Structure 1
Amino acid sequence: MFMFFYPLRKRRAYESNLIHDGLQLEATRSVLDDRLVFVKVHAPWEVLCTYAELMHIKLPLKPNDLKTRSSAFDNFNWLGKVLQVDESIIKPEQEFFTAPFERSRMNDFYIRDKDTFFNPATRSRICNFSYPSEDFTCPNERYLLYREWAHPRSIYKKQPLDLIRKYYGEKIGIYFAWLGYYTKMLLLAAIVGVACFLYGYLNRNNCTWSKEVCDPNIGGTIVMCPQCDKLCPFWKLNITCESSQKLCIFDSFGTLVFAVFMGVWVTLFLEFWKRRQAELEYEWDTVELQQEEQPRPEYEARCTHVVINEITQEEERVPFTTWGKCLRAVLCASAVLFWILLIIASVIGIIVYRLSVFIVFSAKLPKNLNGTDPIQKYLTPQTATSITASLISFVIIMILNIIYEKVAIMITNFELPRTQTDYENSLTMKMFLFQFVNYYSSCFYIAFFKGKFVGYPGDPVYWLGKYRNEECDPGGCLLELTTQLIIIMGGKAIWNNIQEVLLPWIKNLIGRYRTVSGSEKITPRWEQDYHLQLMGRLGLFYEYLEMIIQFGFVTLFVASFPLAPLLALVNNILEIRVDAWKMTTQYRRMVPEKAQDIGAWQPIMQGIAILAVVTNAMIIAFTSDMIPRLVYYWSFSVPPYGDHTHYTMEGYINNTLSIFNIADFKNRSKGNPYTGLGNYTTCRQVLLMYRDFRYPPGHPQEYKHNIYYWHVIAAKLAFIIVMEHVIYSVKFFLSYAIPDVSKSTKSKIKREKYLTQKLLHENHLKDMTKSMGVIAETIMGAADNHLRPKLE
């Protein structure tokens, strides 16, 4: 009996305290379950005013009376009207100057209707501050958001950010504002990326070095050395004709232009987002956000140690001592390092797979040296290995992602941050560090390590003492990096969107089936919302993380895939509506929270932007074949017919392939361990080609790097230094030239401060005048009372 009545007494005491604080309670029994009772909480006007003053909430003081500046884009208002939501359904919010609310000066605030003076998000925040609750008083806003924001027919319309903020609060509003701005900026990057792609596609037939690879009289006569020991055959260069033609599309001059453009684009995006964020801070009254964040309940429950606070010099309770805190930090860092090493181990496993399966594909595929076999024409051993390894890598990435998500939360819980912001920042750094290694490590391997340390046929480099290091295609590893990006980036986007749509929908479908169970009763809207899925306090965290990882793909490796911004643009257009659909139809409404900015994600994006300049410069220098071609064009090509004003790329392929003598193979036992050469009567049966810049056999420095190799290395290093300094200089100039706060926003802030100070000053003078008048009347009254008897 005691166990039954104790929760009842506790609940009644809790409700009694709420009523004592001025809140109004309304009990309603569930339509579907008689055992379930909902207690709806209503906040009267007096309670809203009291807590608005206590929480320093800024409320309308006076309508904005500043003149609107004309813009060069005003001529395109017809386009803006097409993209805007229907203003007859969602009325545009009037812009006000605001000030922290004070009950003593209530008459100075712009109060036209007490029912709408506090918007739904503010009401919910006030109720949650006094008692954690859900506000069911404004269902219309949710319906309007679904109709004009989340519905598929509204996919081309702008987001109603003011209504999103009004209903869901500033924290969710700032996320959708950032996602929308990022998507809008991607439109420019996508247009330039498509233009560079089309430039490469239309000029692919003018690619001289690709023509030499495909020419049966050039590439068809060049016999290449085996790329693995014993099982791999000799092969002719023209079997890579298809891959060389595709490579011409991506490895063109447009690639360099696009890489430089993206280095500038990312700076423009971050700087203009700061301006937009400053506008939202002012419009949404978070410029001077006064919010003392309370400790997390999990933190307070562990506070058992007593220490002296250095500031107050008073005793306070903490969960652990300084040594305990250091020990936890070491254990958490060790756990994070262990899991990062586990990811690196998985990458090494993929590399071993690549080395092993390449031998299998080389042995199984037809050994046709002439490159006329249709299978060998489109599916070379390098291509088959690249595609299968990328697919396996994607599967492993997604599995590790699911596992580490739970591990990161466990580590952060063990670390025990004090506030929710500290908790989210700590989890953000752990999850991003893991995701960075998990998603990008395979791309870094292909871009900067594969094919760079292979030695030469007579003295190959072995990995783990067993596996011969894999080589790139004769055209380089750029095409393989492009394949890796397409599979991981595209697969991640498809998987995340399917997961975000199906999981909550299926859970709610099962929940409705169990709850209704044949009942024909009409369920009120607020009870239906109660049975929706919980968003969770980390709901936005996963949304941000997904977009930041995409931001890394768009910026870090964009030199190898100019269509990455286009894929990101299409995905984000769908992402905005999918997230809107989830929030309005599949999840309960989150407790509205204030937020000034996007938090720890801003410095993470800035770090990615800085790193992107280096990675793209190195991709062009070391992964692309652009620099060796330019060095050959300007230094080693021979102008036709003695015309020194015109250079040509003819002979480039033969110039970049070194010669090796079969007789110089090491560890030869009986006969030739390599098969597939055939009975050739030309010198090609003893002299084979391989991708490198080395002196030929018979030279005093045979098989050592020649002068062309050192010219190329010097050109690559010079290119990286020049490109980095140019882009960093432009980035610095743009960061300095573009102010973080626009002139119009500064004017609004100054005007608002002026009105607030004027209001306070005038009210202070009124109060002083009123007080002086009362004192004067009192003195005069006392004087009259004192003098009247004497006069009588």
Structure 2
Amino acid sequence: MNRVGKKDETLIEMGLANDGEESNGALFENLSNTDSELPCNSEIDKRHQSKDSVFFRDGVRRIDFVLAYVDDPKIEGEKKVERRREFENNLEKAGLELETEDKKESDNGKTYFVKIHAPWEVLITYAEVLSIKMPIKENDIPCTAENPLDWIFWPFKLPEIVMHPEPDYFTAPFSKERQELYLIEDENTFFSPSVRNRIVFYILTRCPYGTEEGKKKFGIKRLLNNGTYTAAYPLHDCQYWKRANDPKCENERYTLYREWARFPRFFKEQPLDLIRKYYGERIGIYFAWLGFYTEMLFFAAIVGLICFLYGAFTMNENMSSQEICDSEIGGKIIMCPLCDKKCDYWRLNSTCESSEYSHLFDNVATLFFAIFMGIWVTLFLEFWKRRQARLEYEWDLVDFEEEQQQLQLRPEYEAKCTQKRKNPVTQELEPYLPLTSQAIRFCISGTTVLFWIFLIIASMIAVIVYRLAVYAAFASIMENAQTLQPIQGILTPQLATSVTASCLNFVIIMILNFLYERIAIWITDMEIPRTHLEYENRLTMKMFLFQFVNYYSSCFYVAFFKGKFVGYPGHYTYMFDRWRNEECDPAGCLIELTTQLTIIMAGKQIWGNIQEAIVPWIRNWCGRRKASSSPENLYSRWEQDHDLQNFGALGLFYEYLEMVIQFGFITLFVASFPLAPLLALMNNILEIRVDSWKLTTQFRRPVAAKAHSIGVWQEILNGMAILSVVTNAFIVAFTSDMIPRLVYYYAYSMDPYSPMSGYINDSLSIFQTSDFPDKNMPDINPENFTTCRYRDYRYPPDHERKYAHTMQFWHILAAKMAFIIIMEHVVFIVKFFVAWMIPDVPAEVKAKIKREKYLTQKILHEYELNKLKQKLCENRTTASMEKEVIATEGRVELSEVM
């Protein structure tokens, strides 16, 4: 089984060196002697192949990657042709085997397809270079005892062969020198297709294709960007809707579609091991996190629904709305105009319905739910760490973080950094970016990010100006100056303004997102990050910072600014000395925050699902319509996949970003909308199936990649969890009416039998209409009112401290601040205590990790010991044979002498 030779030693030495452009070139220039296992049989006609064949024409060598290009010399010129020729020659020098399908055989008659196969020698060499762990012995650690209540979850289970497609093994990083140690039953199947395409892609990203301006150019990414190749992708193993006829085809795509990607399976568990095997650990960990997040949302949704139902069942018991709706109380309270000049006085009972619906979200259960969500988010993050630790062990990712730091530099970094210095760890020369260049690039990047953030703030201010400008129009339209009664229904000037402004804000958010995505990628490329991990982390922070401001700024405005800086009649506060600041509804601003949150959150989720599912389907449908139906041409597996959409290197990044933004909606502002977790739960049930469906049916197979966690997203979630405690405490204190009602209940109520009676009258101050300056005086005053009411705690006009804040105002403010401090400390103490109580890694997983490391080291030690013994035996045998030969020769010589 041991196939190690000098040729392989040269290959691994060159692969491990890889210290920049020179080593990349040397890697591909010193491997021209790699032999092919099987000759290319070009005589086999393409039409004799299976439609789903994933093999070369000989039917033996598996296609590990496909390159596609359109060769039109009139358009391209000789430059691209020369690049392709040199690139493919260098691939063959690296040991890869290529087979080209002529454009005459393609469906559109224009596209060439270059099929790539990695022979055994290349696979074992780069498996060692990349430290890929391979099985050495079947795992003998007993599984966790079965739960006797598992039968309850039987309807949600998938077949065992789907959930665990492979046995569990002890693994070790592959070594060419120890091939006998590994469980190699068949060289063709030892490396899975996902591992094979990962290895080939690694070679493609570092293969040189020429020299321009004295610099070596390399990498398939550059060739795709400059149009030399139109596509580069690994193949799906079959069609998703039926099994392949070829018995050598795994049909894993078909299994994933049947058991995972179809929406009727939404209640089933996810086959994470099969997802990991087919798509790689990086995609597998995403679906594991999304599934776990959705499971935890179920509990938050149940509690939120109960809180909402409590508000619905107690609507008729709400004394505040009863007083507002009462014709003898709210009907006789005349409120001050909502805008200057054009707005008239209005009666308080005109907001009857909005005050009733406000109680759905502004009640005692709101406080309980805000505290519950502060604890829930901690439990979610801590339990996910435990789940992630289990996956790290089960998927052989325990030591991956160290391996990842040793991975090669980004090809773009190597290409753009011409200066070199010695790495203090490896003691080898490697490219580096000078400090001055880094500083300049970071300054440009930071300035660009700040500019776009200011642009978002400017757009939010524009929406606020819209709100202020149209508010007066809505107020004047919705009032009847003769009867002082509104147009019947729940629609009030405040709500009409909030709904239209939220819709406008959502449109602006989508436009800015579209533009900034491209800007963020551009400035991240300009920074030239050193590794792929560093690139993703920088891009993630830029995109999240932008979207955080973009999506949440309007909600922060409604929650913490609207109605807080209004002033009082005669002394209103104006924006830009022109537009009067908005007032909250007499029942509070919480209903408007709920409206804002619902429109943006629901709109984002609906638009996101349209983009993710319908757009790729339409594009693929158009591509299939262009495909020829002529029986003379075979619509092969590589052509079918070529017509699918490209998932892209950032495909998973956008999925995480979408979910993290949703996580912010259900945590930062959940005190205003208890149904937010329920909406998120329903969306995520659909999201899992949409993501799996599009990945399985509408996109090319992504290149497999490893990941041991969700990366920097974990830190972002932790930060949002802490911030959510603060925001919800402020929402309960300043946006809802809970604290003013509690202060009135315990300190100012005069009726012991009905403590909340009189609250509305107490919360409204009196203003003398003759004190209105000309710019505030309404044009029409049909009944010549002498006083009007407004929402504040100020002394009446006949008091010596006219219009100054009352002591009740300061009592309420002190109660609000005390509530914020107490709630934050209580929730934080509980959060940190829960986090301390729950270990990040389960005890049984720690034990299994130690056990596996011990057994693996023991196996390796025994292997080396047996090898040494065998070598000693061979040496002793050789020595004894030499002695015997010498003795024999001596006896012969002695006999000759005698």
TM-score of the aligned structures, taking structure 1 as reference length:
0.92
Q: Which amino acid aligns with 1:628?
A: P
Within the alignment, does 1:294 sit opposite 2:394 as a pair?
A: no
- Higher mean Cα deviation, 648-657 or 443-452? 648-657
Q: Which amino acid aligns with 1:328?
A: R
The equivalent of 2:645 in structure 1 is: 533
Q: Which amino acid aligns with 2:449?
A: V
The equivalent of 1:277 in structure 2 is: 388
Within the alignment, does 1:679 sit opposite 2:752 as a pair?
A: no
Label 1:209 to 1:309 Cα distance change in 2 as closer, same or farther (>3 A): same
Within the alignment, does 1:322 sit opposite 2:435 as a pair?
A: yes
The equivalent of 1:470 in structure 2 is: 582
Within the alignment, does 1:75 sit opposite 2:149 as a pair?
A: yes
The equivalent of 1:758 in structure 2 is: 858
Within the alignment, does 1:740 sit opposite 2:840 as a pair?
A: yes
3-state SS in 2 of match to 1:689: strand
Q: Which amino acid aligns with 1:210?
A: S
Provide the C-alpha distance between the structure 1 equivalents of 2:110 and 2:726, rounded to a whole number of angstroms: 63
Provide the C-alpha distance between the structure 1 equivalents of 2:567 and 2:551, rounded to a whole number of angstroms: 29
Q: Deviations over 1:656-686 (max 9, x none)?
A: 1111112222x348xx932554336xxxx32
Provide the C-alpha distance between the structure 2 equivalents of 1:678 and 1:162, rounded to a whole number of angstroms: 75
What does 1:546-585 align with in structure 2 at a 5 Å threshold?
Answer: 546-585=658-697
The equivalent of 2:607 in structure 1 is: 495
Provide the C-alpha distance between the structure 1 equivalents of 2:725 and 2:149, rounded to a whole number of angstroms: 36
Shift of 1:96: 2.1
Q: Which amino acid aligns with 1:728?
A: F
Q: Which amino acid aligns with 1:356?
A: A
Shift of 1:453: 0.9
Shift of 1:461: 1.4
Q: Which amino acid aligns with 1:661?
A: Q
Pick one of 310, 321, 342 that aligns with 1:210: 321
Provide the C-alpha distance between the structure 1 equivalents of 2:79 and 2:761, rounded to a whole number of angstroms: 89
3-state SS in 1 of match to 2:136: strand
Conserved 8 A contact 1:32-1:519: no
Provide the C-alpha distance between the structure 2 equivalents of 1:314 and 1:24, rounded to a whole number of angstroms: 31
What does 1:510-529 align with in structure 2 at a 5 Å threshold?
Answer: 510-516=622-628, 521-529=633-641
Conserved 8 A contact 2:107-2:639: no
Equivalent pairs counted in the alignment come to: 776
Within the alignment, does 1:60 sit opposite 2:123 as a pair?
A: no
Provide the C-alpha distance between the structure 2 equivalents of 1:767 and 1:413, rounded to a whole number of angstroms: 50
Shift of 1:217: 0.8
Provide the C-alpha distance between the structure 2 equivalents of 1:548 and 1:138, rounded to a whole number of angstroms: 32
Provide the C-alpha distance between the structure 1 equivalents of 2:420 and 2:152, rounded to a whole number of angstroms: 66
Within the alignment, does 1:694 sit opposite 2:794 as a pair?
A: yes
Q: Deviations over 1:222-278 (max 9, x none)?
A: 111112211111111111100110011100111111111110111111111111111
3-state SS in 2 of match to 1:451: coil
Conserved 8 A contact 1:371-1:377: no
Provide the C-alpha distance between the structure 1 equivalents of 2:538 and 2:381, rounded to a whole number of angstroms: 23
Provide the C-alpha distance between the structure 2 equivalents of 1:394 and 1:578, rounded to a whole number of angstroms: 23
What does 1:120-139 align with in structure 2 at a 5 Å threshold?
Answer: 120-131=193-204, 134-136=233-235, 138-139=237-238
Q: Which amino acid aligns with 2:763?
A: T
3-state SS in 2 of match to 1:516: coil
What does 1:613-624 align with in structure 2 at a 5 Å threshold?
Answer: 613-624=725-736
Conserved 8 A contact 2:236-2:253: no
Conserved 8 A contact 1:366-1:376: no
**Alignment RMSD, CA only?**
2.7
Pick one of 730, 739, 744 that aligns with 1:632: 744
Label 1:10 to 1:489 Cα distance change in 2 as closer, same or farther (>3 A): closer
Provide the C-alpha distance between the structure 1 equivalents of 2:636 and 2:588, rounded to a whole number of angstroms: 64
Q: Which runs of 5+ in 1 are unaligned?
A: 641-645
Q: Which amino acid aligns with 1:553?
A: F
TM-score of the aligned structures, taking structure 2 as reference length:
0.82
Label 1:530 to 1:742 Cα distance change in 2 as closer, same or farther (>3 A): same
The equivalent of 2:448 in structure 1 is: 335
3-state SS in 2 of match to 1:576: helix
Label 1:33 to 1:389 Cα distance change in 2 as closer, same or farther (>3 A): closer
The equivalent of 1:444 in structure 2 is: 556
Pick one of 369, 376, 386 that aligns with 1:265: 376
Provide the C-alpha distance between the structure 1 equivalents of 2:803 and 2:236, rounded to a whole number of angstroms: 81
Provide the C-alpha distance between the structure 2 equivalents of 1:572 and 1:83, rounded to a whole number of angstroms: 17
- Higher mean Cα deviation, 404-413 or 125-134? 125-134
Provide the C-alpha distance between the structure 2 equivalents of 1:521 and 1:6, rounded to a whole number of angstroms: 30
Q: Deviations over 1:456-506 (max 9, x none)?
A: 113211221111111000111100000001110011111111111222222
- Higher mean Cα deviation, 507-516 or 606-615? 507-516
- Higher mean Cα deviation, 476-485 or 504-513? 504-513
Conserved 8 A contact 1:199-1:254: yes
Pick one of 526, 529, 534 that aligns with 1:422: 534
Label 1:296 to 1:56 Cα distance change in 2 as closer, same or farther (>3 A): closer
- Sequence identity of aligned pairs in percent? 55
Label 1:356 to 1:406 Cα distance change in 2 as closer, same or farther (>3 A): same
Conserved 8 A contact 1:61-1:97: yes
Shift of 1:378: 2.1
Within the alignment, does 1:192 sit opposite 2:303 as a pair?
A: yes
Provide the C-alpha distance between the structure 1 equivalents of 2:80 and 2:512, rounded to a whole number of angstroms: 42
Pick one of 706, 728, 731 that aligns with 2:806: 706
Conserved 8 A contact 1:694-1:704: yes
Label 1:379 to 1:589 Cα distance change in 2 as closer, same or farther (>3 A): same
Shift of 1:22: 4.2
Q: Which amino acid aligns with 1:746?
A: K
Provide the C-alpha distance between the structure 2 equivalents of 1:312 and 1:23, rounded to a whole number of angstroms: 29
Shift of 1:630: 0.8
The equivalent of 2:41 in structure 1 is: none
Pick one of 255, 259, 264 that aligns with 1:144: 255
Q: Which amino acid aligns with 2:664?
A: G
Q: Which amino acid aligns with 1:196?
A: C
Shift of 1:780: 4.9
Provide the C-alpha distance between the structure 1 equivalents of 2:650 and 2:137, rounded to a whole number of angstroms: 37
What does 1:152-191 align with in structure 2 at a 5 Å threshold?
Answer: 152-191=263-302
Conserved 8 A contact 2:520-2:542: yes
Conserved 8 A contact 1:155-1:577: yes
3-state SS in 1 of match to 2:114: strand
The equivalent of 2:28 in structure 1 is: none
Q: Which runs of 5+ in 2 are unaligned?
A: 1-72, 206-231, 239-250
What does 1:366-377 align with in structure 2 at a 5 Å threshold?
Answer: 366-367=479-480, 373=486, 375-377=487-489
Conserved 8 A contact 2:291-2:688: yes
Label 1:534 to 1:562 Cα distance change in 2 as closer, same or farther (>3 A): same
Within the alignment, does 1:247 sit opposite 2:358 as a pair?
A: yes
Label 1:5 to 1:694 Cα distance change in 2 as closer, same or farther (>3 A): closer
3-state SS in 2 of match to 1:249: coil
Within the alignment, does 1:721 sit opposite 2:815 as a pair?
A: no
- Higher mean Cα deviation, 287-296 or 346-355? 287-296
The equivalent of 1:378 in structure 2 is: 490
Shift of 1:350: 0.8
Provide the C-alpha distance between the structure 1 equivalents of 2:794 and 2:82, rounded to a whole number of angstroms: 88
Q: Which amino acid aligns with 1:25?
A: L
